[in-house]
Amino acid sequence: MANFQRIKGFADLFSPESDVFSFLENTARNVFSRYGYEELRTPLLEHTEIFTRGIGTETDIVQKEMYTFEDKGGRMLTMRPEATAGVMRAYIESSRYAKESVSKFFTYGPMFRYERPQKGRMRQFHQLNCECLGASEPLADAEVILMLMRFLNEAGLKNLVLEVNSLGCRQCRPLYKEKLHEFLLGLDTDQLCEDCRRRMETNPLRVLDCKVPGCKALIDKAPQILEHNCPECKAHFGIVRDILDAAGLPYVLNPRLVRGLDYYNRTTFEVVSTSIGSQGSVAGGGRYDGLIADLGGPDTPGIGFACGMERLAMILADSGAWQLPESVDFFLAVLDEQALQKGMLLAQHLREAGRRGEVSFAVRSLKSQMRQASKAGAAKCLLLGGNEMAMGVVTVKDMETGEQQTAPMNAILDFV
């Protein structure tokens, strides 16, 4: 027989991990809707060009990580490596911009990147993603960041560090890039890693957040982007920071935070956890004012973020703060053959009335059924056999105290 295994970097999520994912989705839906976000579900597959144009041809995602293939109709398609570009495509295609000045969408689901799998880094992973479109005001940046941190707080995630930066705009950033390029040319470039030597020419900003220790040391004295923001960008970022300060939200200014996707300008941010190893970035985002126009839409500004659900789930599991939210009300143990069908109907009656629980499908020893009841975490174990049937009752055992009582079958709801 074939011995099938899941694809490397892809996971099966059994309970309780799948419960943690549902909990995160429900908490996100609750929090995001309070800020006026509506849910948008976009396809997992898009035309490849949406990502090459949106994310940028020089990024790691586009260069090395996309699951791209030609379909039977000869179209080049890609399994979404992130949600933003697809959300922009849907926004443009539906002409939502003509109907309202500001649109807010949240979406969640699987994303695909051909990365080297390790703890916290998967090839299929899940994001909770938010986009606020149509607002260029710094208040929108502040609201998005406050909402992200509110969500993480309500999900019970602690000890996270918020990092912020401003990448400037299409006017001031090219000048900064030139300065940075000049600085990099002045270094002993043989000492830079291979990626940085290439990026130096194609996308010098990415050299700033290289994690290779040798590169980090070399670029220590690089010109700082915040000092090269134009007055408008400085003023914009100043207001964002003022609001975060006034709201009492702590953050760290990180001038090296450039993000791995090319569409960002002005405010960028990341939320980092120190407790889950090297893949500590649990959320990231920023402003992307030229993206919608680059994808063929009107010149509409936007800002958003995505959280990595696997990483959030890891923190919750490690912290022990998360528990199965719902309890199990009953387990119905069937003591002999003649009680099997009645037991099934009784369980159905309880579930129709909103109780949670399971019923045995076959007669097994009382001991093994009791074990099953306690494994399921049932509050009550209901025992049904020929004797009970003859008297029209059920024996109800409290699993915590061990106490047993007899309940009339037709009043069983009062006991469970």
Neighbours of 41 (CB within 10 A): 10
Could you tell me if 228 and 169 are in contact, meaning their C-beta atoms sit under 8 angstroms apart?
Answer: no
Name the residue with the smallest CB distance to ligand HAM: 308
Candidate list 301, 304, 343, 385; residue touching ligand HAM; CB under 6 A: 304
Of the candidates 224, 309, 289, 284, the residue with the CA atom closest to the CA atom of residue 61: 284
Asked if 121 interacts with ligand HAM (CB under 6 A), we say yes
Asked if 283 interacts with ligand HAM (CB under 6 A), we say yes
Could you tell me if 87 and 294 are in contact, meaning their C-beta atoms sit under 8 angstroms apart?
Answer: no
Asked if 281 interacts with ligand HAM (CB under 6 A), we say yes
The smaller minimum CB distance to ligand HAM, of residues 287 and 397, is found at: 287
Report the residue count for the chain.
416
Candidate list 46, 143, 163, 310; residue touching ligand HAM; CB under 6 A: 310
The token pair at 336 is 């002999």
The smaller minimum CB distance to ligand HAM, of residues 37 and 305, is found at: 305
Asked if 256 interacts with ligand HAM (CB under 6 A), we say no
Distance from the first to the final alpha carbon of the chain: 46
Of the candidates 384, 403, 308, the residue with the CA atom closest to the CA atom of residue 342: 384
Of the candidates 241, 251, 244, the residue with the CA atom closest to the CA atom of residue 162: 251
Measured CA to CA, the distance from residue 273 to residue 415 in angstroms comes to 46
Q: Which residue type, as a one-letter code, is found at position 115?
A: E
Q: In sequence order, what are the residues at sequence separation of 6 or more whose Cβ sits closer than 8 angstroms to the Cβ of residue 67?
A: 78, 79, 81, 112, 114
Of the candidates 346, 366, 365, 367, the residue with the CA atom closest to the CA atom of residue 357: 346
Radius of gyration in angstroms for the set of CA atoms belonging to the chain, rounded to a whole number: 28
Candidate list 54, 134, 168, 284; residue touching ligand HAM; CB under 6 A: 284
Question: Least distance in Å: CB of 159 to ligand HAM?
Answer: 16
107 - beta bridge partners? 129
Of the candidates 301, 203, 221, the residue with the CA atom closest to the CA atom of residue 258: 203
Candidate list 40, 50, 122, 162; residue touching ligand HAM; CB under 6 A: 122
The token pair at 132 is 């606020």
The smaller minimum CB distance to ligand HAM, of residues 23 and 305, is found at: 305
The smaller minimum CB distance to ligand HAM, of residues 285 and 343, is found at: 285
Neighbours of 179 (CB within 10 A): 16
Asked if 17 interacts with ligand HAM (CB under 6 A), we say no
Asked if 115 interacts with ligand HAM (CB under 6 A), we say yes
Question: Least distance in Å: CB of 75 to ligand HAM?
Answer: 23
Asked if 103 interacts with ligand HAM (CB under 6 A), we say no
Question: Least distance in Å: CB of 197 to ligand HAM?
Answer: 23
Written as one string, the DSSP assignment of 281-313 is: EEEEEEE-TTHHHHTTS-S--EEEEEEEHHHHH
Asked if 62 interacts with ligand HAM (CB under 6 A), we say no
Asked if 267 interacts with ligand HAM (CB under 6 A), we say no
Question: Least distance in Å: CB of 84 to ligand HAM?
Answer: 4
The smaller minimum CB distance to ligand HAM, of residues 120 and 385, is found at: 120
Kindly state the number of chain residues that form the binding site for ligand HAM, as judged by CB under 6 A: 26
Asked if 110 interacts with ligand HAM (CB under 6 A), we say no
The token pair at 332 is 């119905």
Asked if 306 interacts with ligand HAM (CB under 6 A), we say yes
Asked if 82 interacts with ligand HAM (CB under 6 A), we say yes
Asked if 311 interacts with ligand HAM (CB under 6 A), we say yes
The smaller minimum CB distance to ligand HAM, of residues 304 and 385, is found at: 304
The residue written with tokens 């007669």 in the block is: 363
The smaller minimum CB distance to ligand HAM, of residues 163 and 388, is found at: 163
Asked if 322 interacts with ligand HAM (CB under 6 A), we say no
Question: Least distance in Å: CB of 344 to ligand HAM?
Answer: 43
Question: Least distance in Å: CB of 195 to ligand HAM?
Answer: 17
Written as one string, the DSSP assignment of 306-346 is: EEEHHHHHHHHHHHT----S--EEEEEEE-SGGGHHHHHHH
Q: Which residues bind ligand HAM (CB under 6 A)?
A: 82-84, 113, 115, 120-122, 125, 127, 129, 131, 260-261, 281-286, 304-306, 308, 310-311
